[in-house]
């Protein structure tokens, strides 16, 4: 049985594509070859190219490995850093369940 490919909305695919493009630009600015980055991140070159294309099938851990090689791992901490909606819900006193409902 093969793995099912995740299904994303077009706007979410564009976000991943933009992330991949940003990673590629960061690599090019540092004048690293794709072979250098893939070797340092301990991934294959085709996987790096998938990351730079914004592939949704690549694990988030591999994205992080590439960011570490590029010295951008602190950018990873900015994801969901300012949770504006969550803060508004918290301020409004609305309770949220600790777990998702069972299907």
**What is the per-residue pLDDT for 95?**
60
| Confidence band for 1, pLDDT divided at 50, 70 and 90 | low
Per residue in 80-91, is it b (16+ CB within 10 Å) or e — as a string?
eeeeeeeeeeee
Domain assignment of residue 77, yes or no: yes
Phi, psi of 91 (to 5 degrees): -65, -35
How many domains does the chain fold into? 1
Q: Report the chain's C-alpha Rg in angstroms.
A: 17
> 67: domain range?
10-92
Domain assignment of residue 97, yes or no: no
Summary mean pLDDT of the chain = 88
- Which 3 state secondary structure label does DSSP give 6? coil
Using one digit for the tens of pLDDT, what is the confidence trace for 85-99? 888 887 887 565 677
Using one digit for the tens of pLDDT, what is the confidence trace for 46-78? 999 999 999 999 999 999 999 999 999 998 888
């Amino acid at each position: 049985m093969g793995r099912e490919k995740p299904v994303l909305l077009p706007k979410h695919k564009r976000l991943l594509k933009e992330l991949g493009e940003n990673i590629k630009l960061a690599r090019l600015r540092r004048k690293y070859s794709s072979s250098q980055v893939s070797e340092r991140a301990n991934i294959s070159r085709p996987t790096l190219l998938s990351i730079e294309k914004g592939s949704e099938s690549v694990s988030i851990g591999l994205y992080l490995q590439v960011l570490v090689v590029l010295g951008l791992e602190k950018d990873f901490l900015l994801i969901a850093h300012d949770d504006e909606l969550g803060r508004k819900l918290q301020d409004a006193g609305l309770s949220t369940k600790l777990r998702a409902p069972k299907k």
